[in-house]
Amino acid sequence: MCGRYDLNESPRLLALWFRLAAEPSAYANPDVRPGNSAPVIRLADGRRLAVPARWGLIPSWAKDEAIARHTFNARGETVSGKPSFRAAFRGRRCIVPVSAFFEWQAIPGERRKRKLRFAAADGHPLALAGLWERWIHPGTGEVVDSFTIITTGANGLMAPIHDRMPVILAADDWDAWLDPETANPLLLQSMLTPCPDEVLTVAG
């Protein structure tokens, strides 16, 4: 799973690295949690932009926001068929930019787990595979954009710590992933695999 991450990059760096059409609003949070608002990268009128959304996907058909407590992650193996995610998987895919994500490791003989920080070995931001949705509150008319992070099985680096990890998109896949016209499910599914071990570095 992926339940916490860090984003602390300058707007200029995010714009350059992710080839955005405009610099995003400044954002820094060393401990992003489900329910927090954070930027996601998606296409808007053909332009690649970073826009704020709430972590915990609320499907357009949801009666209330409670579902978001269970939809901050989506399993890559089943995301295309799950009612909560399948519409977004077809046409509302996004990139969740992160400086690092966190996982906790059990230590024999200790009650507290050790917090581990996983970041890109090359020092650049990571591009996590995500989906976004737009929900309109039935009572107030409030428009809420929300997102989920897609997970996959662990790679060799993660396996001793946890059996799941976020999907980290290779730069060559960004265009196809973000493009709502990409309709080949086999192509999309092929992107939802563990990244090579050497992509990440870990520190405690």
Query: Is 198 a residue of the active site?
Result: no
Of 61, 74, 79, 5, nearest in space to 36 by CA? 5
* Cα distances (Å, whole numbers) of residue 60 to 27, 55, 144: 26, 15, 10
Considering 9, 94, 103, 133, which one is annotated as catalytic?
A: 103
CB atoms inside a 10 Å sphere around CB 101: 24
Query: Is 103 a residue of the active site?
Result: yes
Considering 2, 9, 133, 195, which one is annotated as catalytic?
A: 2
What is the SS3 assignment for the chain?
Answer: CCCCEEECCCHHHHHHHCCCCCCCCCCCEEEECCCCEEEEEEEECCEEEEEEEEECCCCCCCCCHHHHHHCCEEECCCCCCCCCCHHHHHHCEEEEEECEEEEEECCCCCCCCEEEEEEECCCCCEEEEEEEEEEECCCCCCEEEEEEEEEEECCCCCCCCCCEEECECCHHHHHHHHCCCCCCHHHHHHCCCCCCHHHEEEEC
Q: Which residues are catalytic?
A: 2, 103
